[in-house]
Structure 1
């Protein structure tokens, strides 16, 4: 199983919460969030980063099924 990480660049405000929570998976580039890899192994850090985003700009999905993993609706 793997997860895909999508970041809505139009929504991102560059708070850096994701990079602070999951520095192995996110970084700020030109003041906005960027996933270090588009597809990752499932990990709580990625879910925590998506949940901590103040504007819900990060979407984590099951790479095979497309089912949303985080943030919770």
Structure 2
């Protein structure tokens, strides 16, 4: 695994709790419609970002390794 992740928020699933922004405001923001979004296409791999993805109530946040494309979260098979 590399030290850079590609982080996406599935806007079809996002229910606008704002938990991602409250937990990691440097990595996530709300768009004009109130949906969460990653502030950049890639970001440093971190426990904070992984914890935010894991705490999303409907797993709308996806993380992949920016170099290999391997899925980090949700884990493969889920």
Q: TM-score, normalised by structure 1?
A: 0.90
Structure 2 residue runs of 5 or longer lacking an equivalent are none
Contact (CA 8 Å) 1:47, 1:71: kept in 2 or not? Answer: no
Q: CA deviation at 1:52?
A: 0.8
How well do the aligned residues superpose, as a CA RMSD in angstroms? 1.2
Q: Size of the alignment, in residue pairs?
A: 73
Q: TM-score, normalised by structure 2?
A: 0.85
**Which residue in the other structure is 1:65 paired with?**
68
Separation in structure 1 between the aligned mates of residue 34 and residue 62 of structure 2, nearest angstrom: 19
Structure 1 residue runs of 5 or longer lacking an equivalent are none
**Which residue in the other structure is 1:22 paired with?**
24
Q: CA deviation at 1:37?
A: 0.7
**Which residue in the other structure is 1:2 paired with?**
4
Structure 1 stretches of 4+ with a deviation exceeding 6 A read none
